[in-house]
Amino acid sequence: MQQPAQTRSNALSRLVLDASSAVLRVERWLLLGLMALLMVLILVNVATRYTGMPIYWIDEAAVYSVVWLTFIGGSAMTRLRMDFAVTLLSDRLGPRPARALKVLAGGGVLFFGIALLAMCWIWMDPLGIARAGFDAREYAAESFNFLYTERTQTLNWPTWLLQTVLPLFAATLTLHAAANLVEDLGWQPRRRHEGFPSSDAEAVVN
């Protein structure tokens, strides 16, 4: 019979995996949408330049599409275990040391995600802008943080709106790293992910 603490631990670890899987499904649709958007932007850009009537804001829109695609893709690749890894050392270790090294690496990714999330909190300073009554100019004058006063060059969109991809990436990376760590520690069985032909780097190699 399981102890209450162990039952709560199992429930928490399952919750982490369920949340990570839900985020991964959303990321899959976002990736598909962004790739389609990028393809349309590039085709329209080529067509309008060829006809001598280029649309000046398409280049910037394509750049920001690639930026969002990169961060969302990087987060998804972390959960799918398709991120870059150097295995020169782990391949020469026994099963137990290799597993310990894998857990250590996963903990490092989790620490990086949490640190990036904290940095984004300081950088975007939601409490500071709220204290300024969401007045970007007043906030910039007090804090010398001009994030909320800047706008993009051709789209003329608020810069902070496009840069929200950073805290979103930090949050999803942290969640995915925690889910990977739960599996590596053996607290929950490793999951496969629907909609992705290869769920890890081993599947790609094989």
Helices (H), the chain: 4-50, 58-79, 95-124, 126-131, 136-143, 159-162, 165-184, 201-205
Residue that wins the pLDDT comparison between 97 and 183: 183
Q: What is the DSSP letter of 189?
A: P
pTM of the model: 0.85
User: Is the pLDDT confidence value at 2 over 70?
Assistant: no
Q: What is the pLDDT of residues 114-161, one digit of tens each?
A: 999 999 999 999 999 999 999 999 999 999 999 999 999 999 999 999
169: burial class by Cβ within 10 Å (0-12, 13-18, 19+)?
A: buried
Q: What is the pLDDT of residues 14-41, one digit of tens each?
A: 899 999 999 999 999 999 999 999 999 9
User: Is the pLDDT confidence value at 200 over 60?
Assistant: no
Q: In this structure, is the dihedral angle defined by the CA atoms of residues 129, 131, 133 and 136, taken in order, positive or negative?
A: negative
What are 79's two structure tokens?
């959960």
3-state secondary structure 136-148: HHHHHHHHCCCCC
Question: Which amino acid belongs to residue 177?
Answer: A
What contacts 101, CB < 8 A, 6 or more positions away?
Answer: 89, 90, 93
